[in-house]
Amino acid sequence: MLGPYEWSQTVRILWNLYRFSREMNRFEAPLQAIPSDVCPFASEGDFDYGEENHTHFRATFPLDIDGCPLKNRPAVLFSGGGGDDGTGYFLLARHWASHGFVVLQPKHADAYTRHFDNTGHFLPAQRLTTWDVWGLALCEPRPWRARCEDMIGLLDEVGDFEGRLDVKRIGVGGYSFGGHVACLLGGVRFRARGESFGAREPRIKAVLNLSSEGGVLAQPKGVWRGLEVPMLLVTGERDKTVWGEGFRAKMREVKCAPQNLIETRVIPGANHFSFVGRLFEVIEDLSKIHPADIAAQNSIFCIVKGATTKYWSERL
């Protein structure tokens, strides 16, 4: 049952979503050139890719010329936004796989499809997912712990993934709420309702933070000092949080982490949904979108693909 704190934060979040929903979903952005440092990594790589759907996760991996999975490759463990079931963000996963990375995406405990599998009914599953995602926004410790357990449990489950991945070269990435989960696995701690916990996973060698909900998770400065591995934060000038704060809130948080471990990239015109190719992944009929907006969003997504692939190539 929601108490006064939960109700006050719920009203505040709903009001900000109403205020900024149009801006968060707009596709208008300046057309920009891909920076020279990431340009070689923005186009598709040299490998074909394969995909497998498992009970608890989805795998995307590089193939050799005979169509067999490559062996002993660096791996990326990726956590999506609230309600993620491991099937989204496939354009980004395929791009990384074409450059030689194995990508593992868990079906999180807050995923609708996971609740549907457990209940067998649409409405109960939808209610449970909504409650879990709202718990993430309200900083309830339980769903955050569950997400970290999903990620660590997946690494335990797959091992070296039949020889496909190098267990000494594993990175973790995440988008939105998943971005902060990735930070927790890199050593950042979490405080909520008087409780503090960490989920540092020693197998993780690098962290990718795509537009995490920095404005939501107003944490004491000390929690960020625990970061132990390199981290790349990718955000944009129109990147709003559900609290209504802009990208500077996300930049402000990471300034509390050891600066020798932090890289940042702020993309002009990018909003919260620009970083994972949402326009090209979700909307089937692009004829309804202005060609200039399609070109602008494509340039943003190419920068994201290039910057993240370059980062993984250097860190893993």
89-132 tens-digit pLDDT: 999 999 999 999 999 999 887 765 554 455 555 455 455 555 55
Answer yes or no: is 6 within a domain.
no
What is each CA distance from 73 to 64, 109, 168, in whole angstroms?
12, 27, 10
Identify the pLDDT of residue 10: 63
Half-sphere exposure of 230 (CA within 13 A, CB side): 14
Identify the pLDDT of residue 112: 58
Answer yes or no: is 20 within a domain.
no
The position carrying tokens 């769903």 is 143
The position carrying tokens 């490759």 is 73
User: How many structural domains is the chain composed of?
Assistant: 1
- Check the CA dihedral 202-143-93-249 and report its sign: negative
Give the H/E segment covering residue 49: strand 48-53
Answer yes or no: is 278 within a domain.
yes
**Is the separation of the CB atoms in 266 and 247 below 8 Å?**
yes
Identify the pLDDT of residue 210: 93
Answer yes or no: is 285 within a domain.
yes
Identify the pLDDT of residue 7: 60
Q: What is the CATH number of the domain that holds 150?
A: 3.40.50.1820
Identify the pLDDT of residue 6: 58
**How far apart (Å, rounded) are the C-alpha atoms in residues 137 and 213?**
9
Answer yes or no: is 9 within a domain.
no
Identify the pLDDT of residue 193: 67
Residues in Cβ contact with 193 at an 8 Å cutoff, skipping those fewer than 6 apart: 139, 140, 141
Widest distance between CA atoms in the chain:
61
**How far apart (Å, rounded) are the C-alpha atoms in residues 295 and 298?**
5
SS3 227: coil
Identify the pLDDT of residue 125: 47
Answer yes or no: is 275 within a domain.
yes
- Residue 81, φ and ψ in degrees, nearest 5: -75, -175
Q: Any idea what DSSP says for residue 269?
A: E
**Is the separation of the CB atoms in 150 and 80 below 8 Å?**
no
Low-confidence ranges of the chain (pLDDT < 50): 1, 115-116, 122, 125, 215
Answer yes or no: is 11 within a domain.
no
Please indicate, yes or no, whether the overall pTM of this predicted structure exceeds 0.75: yes
Answer yes or no: is 24 within a domain.
no
Name the residue range of residue 97's domain.
34-315
